Structure 1
Amino acid sequence: MTGLTRTALALAGCALVAVLPAHLAAQDSASPRQRVPLAEGWQFNLAGTDAAAAERPHDEDWEVVSVPHTWNRVGYYLSDPASHTNTAETVNKVQGVGWYYNSFAAPTRDGQGRAFLEFDAASRTAEVWLNGRLVGTNRNPFARFRIDVTDAVTFGGTNALYVKVDNTAPLTEGAQTADVLPMTGDFFVRGGLYRPVSLVLTKPVHFDLLDAGGPGVYATTLRADAASADIALTMRARNDSSRPQGVVVTATLLDAQGTQIASTRAERTLAAGELAEVPASLTVSNPRLWSGVADPYLHTLRFELRSAAGELLDSVDQSFGIRTMALDPERGFILNGAPYRLVGVGFHQDNEQTDWAMTPAQVEESIRIIREMGANSIRLTHYQHGQPVHDLADRYGLVLWDEIGLVTAWTNQRDQTETPAGIVANARQQVADMIAQNRNHASVAVWGIANEVDFGPGRPDFLGRPPEVVADPIPLLEELAGLVRSTDASRPVVLAHCCENRGMVDVPEVAETVDAVGANLYYGWYYGRPQDLGPHLDGLRAKRPGQPLSISEYGAGAADTLHTDNPLGGPIDMGGRTQPEEYASWFHEESWKQLEPRTYLWGTWLWNSFDFGTTVRREGDAQDINTKGLVSYDRSIRKDAYYFYRANWSDNPTVHINGRRYVDRAYQVTDVRVYSNASRTTLTVNGQVIGTLADCPHSVCVWPNVALREGENVVVASADFASGPVEDRVTWQLAASQVGSFRIDSGAILAANAEVRFGSDNFFVGGSAGNMDQTPRGRPPVPASIAGTSRRDIAATYRRGDFHYRLPLADGRYRVALTFVEPDKAVGERVFDVLANGTPVLSAYDVRARAGAVLTEQVETVEATVTGGVLDLHFRPVTGEAIVSAVEISALR
């Protein structure tokens, strides 16, 4: 390492030295430990995939950064780029090696005191060099690790710290990360020191800092009720001095005011170099329990190490909630002996502003948004998250599902039939780290060991080419489940599966390897209908009636800049651009109807709380973003569906008008949809009261066929709550060209652009939508060539079957123009009538015969008379199915 040492010396003269503030150098009054945050003064150099540069740092071109830091910026919105942080020009998806350098001052050594470097995370792998010596490595991208650097640090002087991190994709040929989970997944593993770094100094006798990144002191509530609670303790005391030491180990439980309510002590003699595990217990009378969001009461557990003479050698405080948790196949999640329904969200650790290097304030903002929605639980996906979110969950009363990064794949070669030993070891490390670092948190309910490892040969292409031979995941899962049970038997082992009972071929049934499961189900998005969700869950329950069941993911993409007049007007593109916000709202309404009555579920977690970065998606109005979040990537926009759950899950007074971002309206009448948890909700438009609805089902209030006027329309929904009145107000615009006419792009959920404004398919009853274009998932559509039209995109979609269009119109005479295109039928195979209010206007109509060829536009113009305020256009089959590509209606003057 002479090259590294020379580089360190060369940079020492110009480096930014982290000057130690006096208040940080001073010993904390509560503990002899000293903690020196290493946040500033870092320099960074990205070698990336340059193999030569990755061997050692460069001598120049270093960027000054602060830690937490990641060089990656992933995902950007296509619309209005000036309003967003990320753009196509500013994203950085480089995977490879990055070097960090810091020159920091270490306090003067106190006797035989110890020094540890503490990294809350380094991705994916890390090599740590201090003063020219390799002092440690780490291969878990998501967990805290500590390195004893006592023999390498310069006490009372300046230290040169280098950290080499590598986030190369594991499947890259020759990658040093080949055995570091995850192998793949619908998220991007960033690189960097993306969580804090500190120097920690202790006395020679101290609590263990090398126990898988944990605090070295652990507590578990064995039993608790209103009368008493029993708490089991484990305290790991280490003697790093050169002689035996007599010590007194104490644990004291303090209430929120700092009053001692229970205590225990033990005496030990520690041999030189000995690590002793000291068990103990506490009994608490009349405990105040941690009761979720209703009362997330936290005590403090204070652990102290003292010498036989009474000198305080070390002290560690841990927030601790007294509670019991269990899962039941009939009653669901049980908190402190009573059913407690878990409703929550999945959560990734990124945002648009800082990506994975989120600040504690940004994490708290995210948790506050989640809690405001009414969620009482979070699934921390798909890897171990940091301490800030766990601390906040304890404080807010949010129940957590923790899990490791075993996602989709557990081999790194396409022909492997067994999991490589390196991946097994890495999975075991991730389990051990996760439990050690988070087991003291009251909020953590379950340990998750895998996500969607049951795709079998049906793994989606966008997650990487499926293996030639699918290795059996069950031996690995059984090993990990056994490791969890032997480490922390107080919490269930769980996993999330995707594919059982869905008719897929060769799907491994992994549920029996764990205590309880979650099902990732996307009925109504990737397959089926939302109405299929409940029966599928019932089937899984019937198959294993003794195993607790939850739904761990369900969701739909939603672009807040794309809007439809009717979410059922045409197909969405689950892997492409056609993802209007209104469809996701409908999806969540229908899905919750399936989930709400199934109280046997031990939890429901929708996907996802926030849009998040992933390099496998090009969908909605975004690039490299999964748009299933209820809130935008930058946290600035709460989509309509967010308020559906807020109205259903929370007591927060909620009145929210849907479609608020659909400002320029296509039609002069619209259904107004409001999410409200008020007993009575009133709608006014342009100052006129439309009506009041009471106790709307599932908090969804709908006023159909509300008329809009030309120009500005002010829509107000209001309600009275015990806390006072609440109203929501939006302004919609209707252009003069849309007044007195309807132009319907049949079969389209998003209206195509044309020389005049069309709306998406609406006002229909019956039939189904179709498209003449090919729409491969995740790739641009392949347009059909349609002859005889200047409006190809309008002509390409259609409605077919036996169906009606029922349009609210003033009485009078109207011109009706109907656009037809025959996709594939021969003459005589598709014949139908068109009736206007029961009167035939086209009889025995054959598009193929009339146009002379398939994929050729034919427009027919008829007249119709409206009486009674409705024009009913009936497309009635004679042979085959009726069809229409566009309906245009305008008044005859």
Structure 2
Amino acid sequence: MKKRLLILCLACLGMINNGLFAQETSPRKVFTLDEGWECRPITTVNRKAPFTPVTIPHTWNTSYIEGTTLYERKTVVYQRPLEVTEEMDGKRLFLYFEGVNSAAQVFLNRRTIGEHLGGYTAFCLEITDQVKKGENLLEVWASNAYRTDVLPISGDFNVNGGIHRPCHLIITGQDCITPLFYASPGVFIHQENISRETAGINVETHLSLKNKKQGLKLKTTIADASNKIVASNETGISGDIVRQPIQVERPVLWEGKKNPYLYTVTVELYDGNQLVDRMVQRTGFRYFSVDHEKGFFLNGNYLNLYGFCRHEDAVGRASALLPEDYKMDMELIKESGATAMRLAHYPHAEPMYDLSDENGIILWTEIPMCGPGGQAFTGLVDTEGFKDNARLAVKELVYQKFNHPSICFWGICNEILVSDGKRFVEYDNPIPFIKELNGLYKSIDTSRLTALATCVDQSYYLGCSDLIAWNKYFGWYKDAAPSASKFFDDCKNSSQGIPVGVSEYGGGASINHHQWPLSMEDRADSHFHPEEAQTFCHEGNWESFMKRPYLWAKFIWVFADFPSYMRQEGEEDGYNDKGLITQDRKVKKDAFYFYKANWNPEPMVYITSRRFVKRNNPQTDIKVFTNLKEVTLYINGKKIGTMKPDEMHRVIWKDIKLDEGRNTVRVEGKNGKENLSDSCEWYYIK
């Protein structure tokens, strides 16, 4: 085992250059520490529990997702050897953790070297003076146990414990672009004056200089997508922070999905003519605004923002995702036609931001300050421990994700409750602290807008953020979906000029539950969640939203089904089934195709209720989602009729009589000369 680990380290396997670190030609070296780990729980019953080999990323909460009812919030110790070779003499060594949930203590050779509170942002520790030549023992104590000084303290999702994101060993020279400034890249590209004529930026670089000698300089270049250098700046160094104004003439703007054009910013630290360190960051130049009456504008043009809220989760891996998981989700998001995404309810891992940059998806990203999600307590307590952790979360989120052009909105909180005299519990007043966090965001980044999501009277929150949005489930929990029209019109009229959006809406569905005729009575808390109910709910909401461009964004709850230990509803307890895709990503529910027909111009036709195979009613409506001009319905080869879709791309044949036994339902249409069709089989049994 030790020999294998040494070979891995010396061979530099796992070298990464995803922009957060460096390219292979840089003097900086980065090793991914994914192999060679083992872990065991810390318990009072069995202090000598055996170690189990694991690969990072890892969480111990996958067993819950694989079908057991156990959701463990505990402490687990991870350990592995760390070999320090002669080649590392005179170098600086850093441990970089992309995410340890929720609290981490790090030990080297049994001595504490640091800790971090918060499981969804990165942290970095220098170990240069703590290591010894040869083999060292690296230990990480990870705990997802509940505590009020670590966010989140509530929420309708599982907090999966472990080293659930990658970790790395970074090796630099004595002088470097520091990885210690809130575990950020150390390079911040401020977009100060962006237009189609010119892009005026200011590149701020944070350095860690041990030698403190003369002759150091910083060279920054900007290259276009063809790798042609279009602007540069070379500056002598007189301190630990260097700011370099640079102007790009006639820039190609980052236009969202239309043209997600990216530039490469390379910052190089030189000692004379010798390259000392290099940091590479991608960015896109864009400007945007939100109007109370007209909605969101990107580079001066209206852009209708709609899409999904997304949790980090995969079957059998929970939040310990692999690169292919992010790529799969992005492909599904692109297929739907979504233009935006809300990363709920915490900072997501780096690959999702990179993919959003590359594919032009506009992002709302937020800290994990979450309200109850159905629980009997709020998501905020007025203690210094809680508030310090929230402040840290804001700083880490902004500094670590600063250069991503896809991010337009910083989220402050989600469903934080306010004592309004209608509840049995009196909550600490959250408003002063929410305003403080809004100011903290603004003090770091003036180029983006702040937002918050509420489920209580918006009047409490007016003035707490640039934008406000609602988690409102019309048609699912209480009011019928058409009520959304009046509700949001009233919100807009009373928002004092603050733009209003939709941060969550939707309903649940099991692909194994079906009903006709459909009843929406007492649906939400039931263990029967027919797919037709979810679709009906989304159709009603979207009919209201599509006619209201002032809604600056519309986010569906939720992209895919995910585990939530507190849920006791739907087909299986412990799951939130409001996803438009199943947790394993294998089945897109009917509602997914409703949005695909409305959002994606690619020609399509889809028959709903296709999984409602066995039927005991001889008559049914047949609903089709399509963006074709017209489609024709056939049952068992017999033509029923041809219809044109309505404004929401629906075609509904009413009261169609089914044959006894098998019914082959087929719909056909044309896109120019291209024939498109869809079919399914139903069985009517008397």
Q: TM-score range by the shorter chain?
A: over 0.9
On the 8 A contact 2:380/2:386 being kept in 1, the answer is no
What is the CA deviation profile of residues 233-261 of structure 1, one whole-angstrom value per residue up to 9, with x for unaligned ones?
111121023x4243111211111111101
Instruction: Tell me the equivalent position of 2:476.
Output: 525
> Which structure 2 residues correspond to residues 528-607 of structure 1 after superposition, within 5 A?
528-567=479-518, 569-607=519-557
Deviation at 1:28, TM superposition (A): 5.4
Partner Cα distance (2:641, 2:454) in 1 = 46
Question: What amino acid does structure 1 have at the position aligned with 2:321?
Answer: M
Deviation at 1:22, TM superposition (A): 2.0
Indicate whether 1:160 and 2:130 are aligned: no
Partner Cα distance (2:31, 2:379) in 1 = 46
On the 8 A contact 1:110/1:203 being kept in 2, the answer is no
For residue 68 of structure 1, the aligned residue among 51, 57, 62 is: 57
Deviation at 1:456, TM superposition (A): 3.4
Indicate whether 1:509 and 2:456 are aligned: no
Indicate whether 1:129 and 2:124 are aligned: no
On the 8 A contact 2:371/2:380 being kept in 1, the answer is no
What is the CA deviation profile of residues 122-180 of structure 1, one whole-angstrom value per residue up to 9, with x for unaligned ones?
0110000112221110001100110001112235x22211100110122xxxxxxx310
Indicate whether 1:87 and 2:67 are aligned: yes
SS in 2 for 1:615: coil
Instruction: Tell me the equivalent position of 2:19.
Output: none
On the 8 A contact 1:717/1:728 being kept in 2, the answer is yes
What is the CA deviation profile of residues 7-52 of structure 1, one whole-angstrom value per residue up to 9, with x for unaligned ones?
xxxxx979976732525499954311111111111101122xx347
Change over 3 Å in CA distance of 1:722–1:261 after alignment to 2:
farther
Change over 3 Å in CA distance of 1:458–1:61 after alignment to 2:
farther
On the 8 A contact 1:248/1:306 being kept in 2, the answer is yes
Indicate whether 1:179 and 2:149 are aligned: yes
For residue 718 of structure 1, the aligned residue among 668, 673, 679 is: 668
Structure (1 or 2) with the larger CA radius of gyration: 1
Instruction: Tell me the equivalent position of 1:819.
Output: none
Change over 3 Å in CA distance of 1:590–1:715 after alignment to 2:
same
On the 8 A contact 1:31/1:315 being kept in 2, the answer is yes
On the 8 A contact 2:156/2:372 being kept in 1, the answer is no
Deviation at 1:531, TM superposition (A): 0.7
Instruction: Tell me the equivalent position of 1:476.
Output: 433
SS in 2 for 1:643: helix
Partner Cα distance (1:458, 1:651) in 2 = 48
Indicate whether 1:232 and 2:183 are aligned: no
> Which structure 2 residues correspond to residues 322-721 of structure 1 after superposition, within 5 A?
322-408=285-371, 419-454=382-417, 456=419, 468-500=425-457, 509-567=460-518, 569-721=519-671
Q: Give TM-score scaled by structure 1 length.
A: 0.73
Change over 3 Å in CA distance of 1:694–1:413 after alignment to 2:
closer
Partner Cα distance (1:221, 1:112) in 2 = 37
Range that drifts further, 319-328 or 14-23: 14-23
Change over 3 Å in CA distance of 1:570–1:335 after alignment to 2:
closer
Partner Cα distance (1:610, 1:733) in 2 = 29
Partner Cα distance (1:33, 1:536) in 2 = 55
> Which structure 2 residues correspond to residues 2-151 of structure 1 after superposition, within 5 A?
19-20=8-9, 22-24=11-13, 29-47=24-42, 50-51=43-44, 61-73=50-62, 86-88=66-68, 92-110=70-88, 112-151=90-129
Instruction: Tell me the equivalent position of 1:174.
Output: none
On the 8 A contact 1:372/1:652 being kept in 2, the answer is no
Partner Cα distance (1:717, 1:266) in 2 = 66
Deviation at 1:380, TM superposition (A): 0.4
On the 8 A contact 1:323/1:442 being kept in 2, the answer is yes
Question: What amino acid does structure 1 have at the position aligned with 2:57?
Answer: P
What is the CA deviation profile of residues 696-746 of structure 1, one whole-angstrom value per residue up to 9, with x for unaligned ones?
3301111112222122111111222248222111011122xx1xxxxxxxx
Instruction: Tell me the equivalent position of 2:268.
Output: 304
On the 8 A contact 1:73/1:93 being kept in 2, the answer is no
Question: What amino acid does structure 2 have at the position aligned with 1:234?
Answer: E
Question: What amino acid does structure 1 have at the position aligned with 2:475?
Answer: G
Partner Cα distance (1:158, 1:18) in 2 = 13
Deviation at 1:205, TM superposition (A): 0.7
RMSD of the alignment, in Å? 2.4
Partner Cα distance (2:672, 2:100) in 1 = 49
Indicate whether 1:279 and 2:229 are aligned: no
On the 8 A contact 1:18/1:104 being kept in 2, the answer is no
On the 8 A contact 1:43/1:102 being kept in 2, the answer is yes
For residue 249 of structure 1, the aligned residue among 182, 202, 218 is: 218
Instruction: Tell me the equivalent position of 1:771.
Output: none
Question: What amino acid does structure 2 have at the position aligned with 1:67?
Answer: I
Partner Cα distance (2:503, 2:457) in 1 = 14
On the 8 A contact 1:457/1:470 being kept in 2, the answer is no
Deviation at 1:225, TM superposition (A): 2.4
On the 8 A contact 1:363/1:389 being kept in 2, the answer is yes
Partner Cα distance (1:723, 1:585) in 2 = 31
On the 8 A contact 2:418/2:430 being kept in 1, the answer is no
SS in 1 for 2:86: coil
On the 8 A contact 1:329/1:545 being kept in 2, the answer is no
Question: What amino acid does structure 1 have at the position aligned with 2:108?
Answer: L
On the 8 A contact 1:346/1:379 being kept in 2, the answer is yes
Range that drifts further, 20-29 or 681-690: 20-29
SS in 2 for 1:622: coil
Partner Cα distance (2:221, 2:120) in 1 = 31
On the 8 A contact 2:372/2:378 being kept in 1, the answer is no
What is the CA deviation profile of residues 360-401 of structure 1, one whole-angstrom value per residue up to 9, with x for unaligned ones?
111110121112101111100111111010000001100000
Partner Cα distance (1:254, 1:439) in 2 = 19
Partner Cα distance (1:127, 1:104) in 2 = 17
Instruction: Tell me the equivalent position of 1:218.
Output: 188
Deviation at 1:74, TM superposition (A): 6.8
On the 8 A contact 1:250/1:304 being kept in 2, the answer is yes
On the 8 A contact 2:116/2:123 being kept in 1, the answer is yes
Change over 3 Å in CA distance of 1:592–1:118 after alignment to 2:
same
What is the CA deviation profile of residues 387-439 of structure 1, one whole-angstrom value per residue up to 9, with x for unaligned ones?
010000001100000100111169x9989996100000000000000001111
Question: What amino acid does structure 2 have at the position aligned with 1:473?
Answer: P
SS in 1 for 2:193: strand
Partner Cα distance (1:341, 1:332) in 2 = 8
On the 8 A contact 1:714/1:729 being kept in 2, the answer is yes
SS in 1 for 2:460: coil
Per chain length, whose mean CA-contact separation is higher, i.e. which structure has more relative contact order (CA < 8 Å, sep 6+)?
2
Deviation at 1:683, TM superposition (A): 1.2
Q: Give TM-score scaled by structure 2 length.
A: 0.95
Instruction: Tell me the equivalent position of 2:256.
Output: 292
SS in 1 for 2:598: helix
Range that drifts further, 542-551 or 339-348: 542-551
On the 8 A contact 2:475/2:540 being kept in 1, the answer is no
Instruction: Tell me the equivalent position of 1:838.
Output: none
On the 8 A contact 2:155/2:379 being kept in 1, the answer is no
On the 8 A contact 2:93/2:169 being kept in 1, the answer is yes
What is the CA deviation profile of residues 590-628 of structure 1, one whole-angstrom value per residue up to 9, with x for unaligned ones?
110100010011110010011111111022112211010
Change over 3 Å in CA distance of 1:292–1:417 after alignment to 2:
closer
Deviation at 1:110, TM superposition (A): 4.7
Change over 3 Å in CA distance of 1:111–1:436 after alignment to 2:
same
On the 8 A contact 1:249/1:306 being kept in 2, the answer is yes
Partner Cα distance (1:367, 1:471) in 2 = 39
Aligned residue pairs total 679
On the 8 A contact 2:99/2:119 being kept in 1, the answer is yes
For residue 316 of structure 1, the aligned residue among 238, 259, 279 is: 279
